Amino acid sequence: MLEARKSAARPFTVVGGISPQETAGLRSARGSAAKVNLAFFWLQEFIIRESLHGSFGNVGPPIVSRLQQYSSDGHLWFNSARKVSFIPFPFPHAQLASMFVCISSVLIPTLMLSKTEFYMGLSLNFAAIVIIAGINEVAKELESPFQSIPNDIPLNLFQEQFNEALITTFSGYHPDFLNLKMKRKDISENA
């Protein structure tokens, strides 16, 4: 429930919008990856349908198959990230790492102060404990990579940048073309 509220608070922008039929299809999809699988199959179907109708122009089959390969690769990496998210880190390993930090925070100061000068031992002790505790905190964050908001991947920002790139790519304007058009406009206004 919390995950659904968190996702609803950060919606993705879809270029071209979503039709009512697509919305109904996505709402009826059940399961942890059903919506993503449905959208993936829609994309595959779209590529095949547009290729068969000739909408891509005079594009060879290897290029069309490369489009499907790239979308398939994206789906593969989504499933890999999903596995990382759902498969828990081994509990005994996490407990051993926490126990190691506790033992090190007691044992390292004793050894450092017995083998070095006081101030040198103090500074080495501080550095060693901070590094070990920092590595343990990074490991805790890696155990659940998609849970913590401050360290979360900025997916909405990435989606906005991707949408902007799509709109720019498909707008049909090349910067050289725009510069040439502006120069022609300036020349016609000055004449």
| pLDDT at residue 174 is higher than 60 | no
Q: Specify the 3-state DSSP secondary structure of 94.
A: helix
Provide the Cα torsion 148, 151, 155, 161; round to 10°.
Answer: 160
For 28-42, the pLDDT digits (tens) are 888 778 888 888 898
| pLDDT at residue 79 is higher than 80 | yes
Q: How far is CA 59 from the centre of its chain?
A: 31
- Best CA proximity match to 15, nearest among 173, 167, 190: 167
| pLDDT at residue 70 is higher than 60 | yes
In this predicted structure, what is the pLDDT of residue 183? 55
For 125-157, the pLDDT digits (tens) are 888 888 888 888 887 777 776 666 666 677 778
Mean pLDDT confidence for 163-191: 60
- pLDDT band for 168, please (50, 70, 90 cuts): confident
| pLDDT at residue 105 is higher than 70 | yes
Q: Please, what sign has the CA dihedral across residues 46, 47, 51, 54?
A: positive
| pLDDT at residue 7 is higher than 70 | no
Q: How far is CA 169 from the centre of its chain?
A: 22
Mean pLDDT confidence for 170-190: 56
